[in-house]
Structure 1
Amino acid sequence: MIYDLTLKIAYDYRSAVTDARHSLRVRPRTDHDQTVTGLSLTLAPLPDECVEERDFFGNAVDAVAFHRPHRNLSVEMRARVRVDRPAVDLALAPPLAELAEAAFLDRDSGGAAPMHFTGASRIVAPLAALTAYAEPTFAAPGSAGPAIMALTRRIKADFAYLPGSTDVRTSVAAAFRQRSGVCQDFAHVMIAALRARGIPAAYVSGFLRTDPPPGRPRLEGADAMHAWVEAWLGDALGWVGFDPTNGIVAGDDHVVVAVGRDYADVAPVAGAFVTTGRQRTRHAVDMVPIGDA
């Protein structure tokens, strides 16, 4: 499938920002099942410094700095992306215990290595109540793939999608306790549950198709940047995407922008700036299918 993507992020500051440095992670990734064929990034005002680079996890990063006073900042990313994400036979994954052992013994240290996604990170930490919640889902014998899919569907069934009920500062414990939130919260909850069993789990930031094919329901979380989970299912299957907000395996409706240990690694805009008073943020996403790949 081919998509035209537009992401617009805008900030309005009560007082002028006198100095700012930001790391932008808004450019979609090119990998084995997704290709970016065109892209533009527009910032206003123009930055005084701008460097394109890659972070440890292979995400595109635009490091920008502003040294002149400004009251507004806008970021607009436009891209054309081809997605061809084949279906995966989850039953081919090894059992949970074997998968966890394989992850523990893996000695790869690159950005996509399992070792980076099994322990606590800045946002995701072990939570005894959450581990107990997930245990019945993992109790059945057999492949880890169907068990992880069952957890994906269970989170979809047990948690209410309520925009505005949480924000980027909401902890995993709070989201789990209130059983509500948005895609970011559900991804963090699922990651915590998987890592507690030794299963490598990564946080994925990206886009979700807003106009589903005829006969399919509109997916939740499609009006803003979306988030889901990738679980490592062994050397044969590698990393596979699971979307707990919608209870599905990530497919051609999903476009990956950035991958990390949790949201702190992939925030679209991160950094520091000097100002006083509050700021207002606006965020808009448009994902238009234009044809089959």
Structure 2
Amino acid sequence: MAMLGEITHTTTYRYTKPVSFGTHRAMFLPRRGACARLLGWSARTNPPSKVHWTTDARSNTVTVMEFSELASELTIIFQVRGVYFGIKGIESFPLAARAEQIPVQYSPDEWTDLAGYLRPHADDPDGSLASWTKSFVAGDKDETTDVLHRLLRTFRESFSYSARESEGTQAPGETLRKRSGTCRDYAWLMIETLRRLGLASRFVSGYLYDQALDGGAVGATGSGATHAWVQVFLPGAGWLDYDPTNQINAGFDLIPVAVARHPAQAIPLEGSWFGDAGDYAGMSVNVTVHKIGDIRDSSEG
């Protein structure tokens, strides 16, 4: 089954008087491939800007906006329409025998290609991350998918989601200590935990389709804004999605935009402005993911 959908991502920055703007870079375009087929997209700004498109080293699409006018309000609107493919029961894909238990055995070629996603990036000065990691394995032959689901349940049952306006991502040790954070914080802690278990993992930024929110009801955690989750590479199945914020790992609920070794490589929107520090008056972000209809694949009969 596939979903025909439309995403609108609006960001507004406000200032007490006109200021000038430097280059802004955004990641909003869903990654094309097996999970998405894009039909059309646009980037509009007020004040107007010169827009061009490029890709980074990880094949993420980057929108670059150059401004020449002063303004007391900057609005950036991204829109994209596409077909998004979802697979129910994604873990029904057979894992290679060498991936069924931890530690997963990667081939030499896989080790070369996945090296950046296998090496932990965060410091662990007090050993708290190491202790936390060990709590998810009981012996020498833990089933890989059992460990992954155990980790998802722990986030759901023992952590408290906490949105914040400040930029950036908490250090994994801080999220672990607070037992609280945003979707980006959860994803980064899960990635660093999985890497310490020998599982190749990467950070994903994108959108969350929530049927309840689309219908005007209360949405899932993290909906209404950009979302973040984890992808784990398991031989035989490939890159699999795991969302520690909502315990999602199947369907077309998760629409990836950017993949990265660490969160700083997948910032949805970044840029600069020039004026007095007191000129900044705040910002607002609104993301809607609207399903236009379902598309049935002809191969489904």
Shared topology, TM-score over 0.5? yes
The percent of aligned pairs where both chains have the same amino acid is 24
Structure 1 segments unaligned to the other structure (5+ residues): none
Q: Over residues 21-76 of structure 1, what are the superposed CA-to-partner deviations in whole Å (9 max), with x where a residue is unaligned?
A: 121111122121222222121111122x4321111111110122223323221111
Paired position in structure 1 for 2:258:
258
Equivalent position to 1:92, from 90, 95, 102 = 95
Paired position in structure 2 for 1:242:
242
Equivalent position to 1:23, from 19, 22, 25 = 25
Q: 1:104 to 1:79 in 2, by over 3 A?
A: same
Rounded to whole Å, the distance in 2 between the matches of 1:125 and 1:41 is 38
Where in structure 2 are the equivalents of 1:252-291 lying within 5 Å? 252-277=252-277, 278-291=280-293
Paired position in structure 2 for 1:194:
194
Deviation at 1:249, TM superposition (A): 0.9
**Residue identity opposite 1:69 in structure 2:** L
Q: Indicate if the aligned counterparts of 2:133 and 2:196 stay in contact, CA closer than 8 A.
A: no
Q: Indicate if the aligned counterparts of 1:51 and 1:63 stay in contact, CA closer than 8 A.
A: yes
Paired position in structure 2 for 1:219:
220
Paired position in structure 2 for 1:102:
106
Q: 1:179 to 1:147 in 2, by over 3 A?
A: same
TM-score, length of structure 2 as denominator length: 0.84
Rounded to whole Å, the distance in 2 between the matches of 1:59 and 1:91 is 28
Q: 1:217 to 1:136 in 2, by over 3 A?
A: farther
Q: 1:203 to 1:12 in 2, by over 3 A?
A: same
Rounded to whole Å, the distance in 2 between the matches of 1:146 and 1:247 is 13
Q: 1:198 to 1:15 in 2, by over 3 A?
A: farther
**Residue identity opposite 1:223 in structure 2:** G
Deviation at 1:290, TM superposition (A): 1.8
**Residue identity opposite 1:36 in structure 2:** L
**Residue identity opposite 2:106 in structure 1:** A
Q: Indicate if the aligned counterparts of 1:54 and 1:61 stay in contact, CA closer than 8 A.
A: yes
Paired position in structure 1 for 2:185:
185
Structure 2 segments unaligned to the other structure (5+ residues): 296-301
Rounded to whole Å, the distance in 2 between the matches of 1:144 and 1:4 is 35
Rounded to whole Å, the distance in 1 between the matches of 2:72 and 2:107 is 48
Residue 7 of structure 1 pairs with residue 6 of structure 2: no
| Aligned length, in residue pairs | 283
Q: Indicate if the aligned counterparts of 1:24 and 1:268 stay in contact, CA closer than 8 A.
A: yes
Paired position in structure 2 for 1:135:
134
| Structure number, greater radius of gyration | 2
Where in structure 2 are the equivalents of 1:64-213 lying within 5 Å? 64-86=65-87, 87-89=90-92, 92=95, 94-99=99-104, 101-102=105-106, 106=110, 113-121=113-121, 124-126=122-124, 128-140=127-139, 141-164=141-164, 168-212=168-212
RMSD over equivalenced CA pairs, Å: 2.6
Deviation at 1:13, TM superposition (A): 2.6
Q: Over residues 224-248 of structure 1, what are the superposed CA-to-partner deviations in whole Å (9 max), with x where a residue is unaligned?
A: 11111001112x2110000100122
Q: Indicate if the aligned counterparts of 2:23 and 2:66 stay in contact, CA closer than 8 A.
A: yes
TM-score, length of structure 1 as denominator length: 0.86
Rounded to whole Å, the distance in 2 between the matches of 1:103 and 1:164 is 41
